[in-house]
Structure 1
Amino acid sequence: MISGSPPRYPVESRRRKEQGTVELTLVLGLDGKVETISVAHSSGFARLDQAALDAVRRWRWAPTLRDGSPVKVRGTVEIPFVLSNV
């Protein structure tokens, strides 16, 4: 990954003490940008799932090269949402 900020913990989720891990499936294009993204495994909370989607959608990776040419790549990303003061 060459750029990307972590997702923001939704304020309402903090208030409700919602925690969980979101697993996202994505396809990176030839330029290293996210082409498609979806929730493979929900945290159990729509707000957390959406926060993860919104953040990872903006992340950028260096293009993956095969035999010197850029290729599309499918992968998964896990985003944990954990509160320290529960």
Structure 2
Amino acid sequence: MESYFASGHAADVILAALALEAAWLIARGWRAGVVLPMLAPAALIALGLRGALTGAPWPWIALPLALSFPLHLADLRLRARV
């Protein structure tokens, strides 16, 4: 289990699940313009997690984490209009 996390595969599974969720929602009639902003913050957090698990330099961990917050706020703003 240690090598599973140390290799970053745990984050890869999260990213794959997010991609499957996006595909499923779009197939069920959700607009991509609604689905992608909704799932993008989670994908960025998973990318930051992957960087942390694999020993990436701190900017490669901090950047996706920092970008996830404004995207989350943008998603909230889109949902407030709907």
Normalising to structure 1: TM-score of the pair?
0.27
Task: Name whichever structure is richer in helix by fraction.
Answer: 2
Higher relative contact order (CA 8 A, sep 6+): 1
Task: Name whichever structure is richer in strand by fraction.
Answer: 1
Normalising to structure 2: TM-score of the pair?
0.27
